[in-house]
Amino acid sequence: MIYRYSLANGLRVVIEDIPFVRSVSMGVWVLTGSRDENPEQSGISHFLEHMFFKGTSKLSARELAEVFDGIGGNINAYTTKEYTCFHAKVLDEHMDLAMRTLADMLFDSVFDPVELEREKRVVIEEIKMYEDNPEEAVHDQIIEATYAGHPLGANILGTEESLIQLDRQRLIDYIDSRYTPDNMVVSVSGHVMVAEVLALIETLFGGVRRETKTFVSQGPTFIPARVYNKRPIEQMHACLAVPSFAYADESMYGLILLNNILGASSSSRLFQEIREERGMAYNVFSYYSAFRDTGLFLVYFGSSPSQSQEVGELILKIVHDVLRDGVTEDELKTAKNQVIGSLLLGTESTSNRMSRIGKNELLLGRQVEIDEVTQAVSKVNRTDLHDIAQKLFQTPFSYVALGPSERSFSLKGEAL
């Protein structure tokens, strides 16, 4: 059972007791990410994620790492466009220590200037690592091109120039304005006593008094970008995008199924047609990115430059076939089984369950029961998917392609 609470300072807490496991997974979720940064702050959300691991008034960076290694647990964090998550997984007997350590990191980090300058170099190396990997870089570049000029299009890592400008006071000011109780959720899933966990969270988080100062940005405008960047590489890497749905949109369940049929599984049309039947790409897949007010549906492929144009045109043909003829009953049945099966298998992990209840609370403001999801997925029919496809593909694909200098890549600009 999932228990929901709100502390007096506005912090939301969700706890799920699972008596038949030995692990406890916990997460602190903050509704701030790269889209909440102004240009002078670019990359600060991600950089802060790093700095929270660099020492508190009680423990050095090394000692923080040793806390979790010493109890056989793990701790990590990640930053997205719209939120940041700090998460840990430990044995039930170590839950108290893990939660106290997480709270210390978030509320008692010292942000030592020496550590700060050292970590800037680490993140700059991280930026270079992604830039050197075209298979990764193209996914960032399609969003940057499609949402150019909007904070949602900014790179989560920031830039070398923006990172250099960050100092201790800017980090503290950002924390004071965004790491506020009403902008945070604590989620816990595993073998716990609910009352004890709630009392601990009240002790560690209940005294925080900060008021959220939001950097307000309007929803982005989709830009039909067509970008080819020359790189001294062997393969062509391309990412195509069309506007999609926000994460609370009622069409999301249908989109999940359509994505599965088009390119998110090994039995999908893109994978079977382009890789299995023609051997024209090792990697080809579709996916979607949902945000609070918009979304993208994307297709990625990597192929030899001599075949990339044909692969791109095959993708358009496969999409056109779905627009014209819809999907088959067998495809829909298989997709439902895959989606529901994956969802139910995920419930066997306390980490997955903690993430699910945390994100539901943070992004939707409510808990979505597993049965509600499975029923909604089961109700989707072929007509629903046809209607969703018509909405998705009425706009021409934006694309970014990275490839060798002697080749180019283009796709027709008209809508399908």
199 and 303, same domain (yes or no): no
Residues annotated as catalytic are: 49
Alpha-carbon gap, residue 402 to 37, rounded angstroms: 28
Residue 409 is assigned to a structural domain of this protein: no
Asked whether residue 235 falls in the same domain as residue 104, the answer is no
In a shared domain, residues 194 and 243 = no
Joined tokens for residue 321: 């076939």
Domain boundary residue among 205, 240, 256?
205
Assess contact for 306 and 322: CB atoms under 8 A: no
**Position 210 in a domain:** no
R_g of the chain computed on alpha carbons: 23
> For residue 361, is it within any domain?
yes
**Residue 309: CATH number of its domain:** 3.30.830.10
Domain interval for residue 288:
226-403
State the residue for tokens 């993708």.
Answer: 315
Statement to judge: residues 196 and 239 lie in one domain:
no
Which of 148, 175, 205 is at the close of a domain? Answer: 205
Q: Does residue 85 contact residue 28 with C-beta atoms inside 8 Å?
A: yes
What is the residue type of 225? A
Backbone angles phi, psi at 6, to 5 degrees: -130, 125
CA distance 402 to 368: 40
189 and 142 fall within a common domain: yes
Tokens representing residue 181 in the block: 């109780």
| 3-class secondary-structure state, position 361 | helix
pLDDT tens per residue, range 38-68: 888 999 999 999 999 999 999 999 999 999 9
Instruction: Give the largest Cα separation in the chain, rounded.
Output: 65
Rounded Cα gap, residues 54 and 63, in angstroms: 10
pTM of the model: 0.95
114 and 200: one domain? yes
CA distance 263 to 136: 18
Residue 234 has, within 13 A of its CA and on its CB side, a CA count of 1
Rounded to whole angstroms, how far apart are CA atoms 139 and 288?
Answer: 11
Please tell me the distance from the alpha carbon of residue 250 to that of residue 142, in angstroms, as a whole number.
Answer: 25
**Are 51 and 192 contained in the same domain?**
yes
Rounded CA-CA distance 264/257 in Å is: 9
Domain count, the chain: 2
Partners of residue 230 on adjacent β-strands: 403
Assess whether 126 and 267 both reside in one domain: no
In contact, 51 and 115? CB cutoff 8 Å: yes
pLDDT in tens, 127-183: 999 999 999 999 999 999 999 999 999 999 999 999 999 999 999 999 999 999 999
Distant-in-sequence contacts of 99-102, Cβ < 8 A, 24+ apart: 99/26, 99/188, 99/197, 99/200, 99/201, 99/204, 100/200, 100/204, 101/59, 101/64, 101/67, 101/68, 101/75, 102/26, 102/28, 102/75
Per-residue pLDDT of the chain (416 residues; tens, 9 = 90+): 899 999 999 999 999 999 999 999 999 999 999 999 988 899 999 999 999 999 999 999 999 999 999 999 999 999 999 999 999 999 999 999 999 999 999 999 999 999 999 999 999 999 999 999 999 999 999 999 999 999 999 999 999 999 999 999 999 999 999 999 999 999 999 999 999 999 999 999 999 988 777 666 678 999 999 999 999 999 999 999 999 999 999 999 999 999 999 999 999 999 999 999 999 999 999 999 999 999 999 999 999 999 999 999 999 999 999 999 999 999 999 999 999 999 999 999 999 999 999 999 999 999 999 999 999 999 999 999 999 999 999 889 999 999 997 667 888 754 44
Cα of 400 vs its chain's centroid, Å: 20
C-alpha dihedral (412, 413, 414, 415), degrees to nearest 10: 100
Pair (130, 259) in one structural domain: no
